[in-house]
Amino acid sequence: GDSVTQMEGPVTLSEEAFLTINCTYTATGYPSLFWYVQYPGEGLQLLLKATKADDKGSNKGFEATYRKETTSFHLEKGSVQVSDSAVYFCALSDGQGAQKLVFGQGTRLTINP
């Protein structure tokens, strides 16, 4: 079945550092890809998405590009802030209409001032 693999955490960076969180997927067909973020005590929120190959999703300074050839959707940010500290989940939906999501295991990010 479909699956998502994320780089293991936790990840700790200093403020203004460059961030990459790796995500690769296995899927049949043409999935849509997502990054969700979970701040402490809050529900999952959609951060960005891409629905077809070579699409770039972006939001709040974060970016990720749908790479079909490498089956990847790595999350990047050029300069992180303390407020970016959260758990980040990569996910896919199979594009078959049900819109159900398959998640990676999550990566906990801590940004130190």
CA atoms within 13 A on the CB side of 111: 17
Three-state SS for 104? coil
Site membership for another protein, residue 98 (CB under 8 A): yes
Site membership for another protein, residue 64 (CB under 8 A): no
Q: Determine how β-strand 32-38 pairs with β-strand 86-93.
A: antiparallel
Site membership for another protein, residue 4 (CB under 8 A): yes
**Nearer CB in complex with another protein: 17/38:** 38
Minimum distance from residue 71 beta carbon to another protein (Å): 17
The one segment of 15-23, 55-63, 73-81, 92-100 that binds another protein by CB under 8 A: 92-100
Rounded distance between C-alpha atoms, residue 89 and residue 75, angstroms: 10
Q: φ, ψ for residue 51 (rounded to 5)?
A: -110, -10
Q: What residues line the site for another protein (CB under 8 A)?
A: 4, 32, 36, 41-46, 49, 51, 89, 91, 93, 95, 97-106
